[in-house]
Amino acid sequence: IQIRHSQSALVMSSFPYQQISPKILLPVGTILGHLQIHPNGKTMLATLRKGTGEQQIILIDLVKVLKEKRFLYKVLTNEGSPEHPSWGIDGNSAYWNAYTSGVSNIFRKAVDSNEIEVLSNSPTGLFHPLVLDQERLFAYQFTSQGFQPVIMPNQPVDGVAAIHYRGQQVIENHPELREWRLKPDPTILADKKLVGEKYHGWLNLQKTALIPTIASYGKQTALGLYGEMKDPLNEHRLYLKTGLSKQENPDSGYDFHFDGGYEYLNRFSIGLQHLPTSFYDLANRRDVRRVNNGIFTAYNKLWIYDRPKTLTQWFYLGWNQWKYDDFGQ
């Protein structure tokens, strides 16, 4: 969801997330949130907040959105300001929390049914349900110490009592008070337009890290700095790790360590190394061969990128000058 000038839009971005494609522009005052895509990728649950104050859990047809840019949806519920929808294990049921009884509790409904089931009767409030399996739900319970994670049964409960609020009773006895609410003015932002411009990663580079480091090169402990710069969309990344260590022979002086490089779109990289250090060698004094000097370039081919499923192939070309330890001698 992208929000500009108080107007929200449903947008999409594919890996490596360099371009944002607007799909649906919503009316002023209407906000979409808590998106939950179905495992089959064809539908999506969401919380829809309208400018009138009404809030709904809706089921969106993603096929129409992506192919035709049409915002077609089915309202699952609008009772009790529902929010935070999630899918069940079977993909046929929707879960959410709502204030139907006056306190937020957990509800369930099959998408092809009109029956809503109550799954909790908490006096303090339960929020953001997530299905663990057919028998258990994860949720956050409000307590005097703040929100606490809990596990609760995934089954209906009986005897849910309603809480009566004085404010609600006043509205019911004096319905004319509803007219006192300010109505949204759609003309305020009617002349506002979303202006697109080309994104330049190099012009948006930011310092993301500058920290002191301690590492090791063989038996030499090195103190140094690690610095990193990249743009918000991770199009360009520059990194540099330096260090200074005293050589094993006290009369030989110090060694300077350098390990730097550049990455583009998390796919292409080049690097230059001189006595590169390793943090892990501080605890593991291994007798192995180590890079003395090196230069390399690499390319990362993503055959499958649908987390948690990924399939990656690396192509590497480089030159290294190795330093061999004495292997205990």
User: What is the mean predicted confidence (pLDDT) over 301-311?
Assistant: 82
Give phi and psi for 178, each to the nearest 5.
-60, -30
User: What is the mean predicted confidence (pLDDT) over 106-128?
Assistant: 91
Q: Where are the domains of the chain?
A: 2-180, 202-324
Q: Which amino acid is at 14?
A: S
Helices (H), the chain: 62-68, 166-173
Q: At 86, which helix (H) or strand (E)?
A: strand 83-87
Q: Which amino acid is at 91?
A: G
206-217 and 146-153: which strand pairing?
Answer: unpaired
The closest of 296, 297, 207, 213 to 257, measured between CA atoms, is 213
Higher pLDDT, 186 or 207: 207
Residue pointed to by tokens 């007219």: 179
User: pLDDT, tens digit, for every residue of 53-71?
Assistant: 889 999 999 999 988 888 9
Spell out the long-range contacts of 182-188 with Cβ–Cβ below 8 A and sequence spacing 24 or more. 183/52, 184/28, 184/29, 184/51, 184/52, 186/27, 186/28, 186/29, 188/28
Where does 2-180 sit in CATH, by number?
2.120.10.30
Annotate 129-165 with b (16+ C-beta within 10 A) or e (fewer). Answer: bebeeeeebebbbbeeeeeeeeebebeeeeeeeeeee
What is the structure's pLDDT at 260?
Answer: 96
User: What is the mean predicted confidence (pLDDT) over 287-292?
Assistant: 70
Quote the percentage of the chain above a pLDDT of 90.
Answer: 47
How many Cβ atoms sit within 10 Å of the Cβ of residue 97?
27
The closest of 118, 119, 133, 290 to 215, measured between CA atoms, is 290
Task: Please check the confidence at residue 328 and state whether its pLDDT lies above 50.
Answer: no
14: Cβ–Cβ under 8 A, 6 or more apart, which residues?
Answer: none
Task: State the Cα–Cα distance between residues 130 and 150, nearest whole angstrom.
Answer: 11
Quote the percentage of the chain above a pLDDT of 70.
Answer: 90
Q: How confident is the model at residue 177 (pLDDT cuts 50, 70, 90)?
A: confident
Residue 90 contacts residue 110 (beta carbons within 8 Å)? no
